[in-house]
Amino acid sequence: MKYFLLALSFLSFSAAADLPYQPTFNWTPPTEFSDSSVLDPLNDLSGYRLKCTGAVIMEDVLPNDVITWTAPVGMFMAGDYVCVMTSIATNEYGGTESVDSNPVNFTISQKSPNPIVDFGVR
């Protein structure tokens, strides 16, 4: 079974001055499996999953052609969060989910509505 690497370059957040906030997430798709063979995100991945502590749990998988996503109203409020991103292989590759990216810690507040946070590459 092949495992794949999720290479996230950065995660940026923007939030309106009024509650609730709507952070925007940006990432770079992985380009290789963990065995260093070439991975084509549009053909080899079915999507991405964002997991954040402190946020409303999101069950949906983001499509494989999306690299920017804005959270819906009500998912994030002012507070502290830790997020990770995973990629999900197509059924051809067993439909497995990658290991979590490096965790990203960030705070959304009136004083810091637009923090920019970098993901580590795994």
Two structure tokens written together for 69: 């996503």
Under the banding of pLDDT at 50, 70 and 90, the label for residue 19 is low
Distance (Å, rounded) from C-alpha 9 to C-alpha 121? 7
Domains along the sequence of the chain with CATH: 11-109 (2.60.40.10)
The predicted-structure confidence for 26-79, as pLDDT tens digits, reads as follows 888 888 888 889 999 999 999 988 888 877 666 778 898 888 888 777 788 888
pTM to 2 decimal places: 0.74
pLDDT at 10: 39
pLDDT at 34: 84
What are the backbone angles phi and psi of residue 86, rounded to the nearest 5°? Answer: -130, 160
> Is the Cα dihedral 30, 116, 110, 108 positive or negative?
positive
Closest CA to 4 of 121, 115, 106: 121
pLDDT at 9: 40
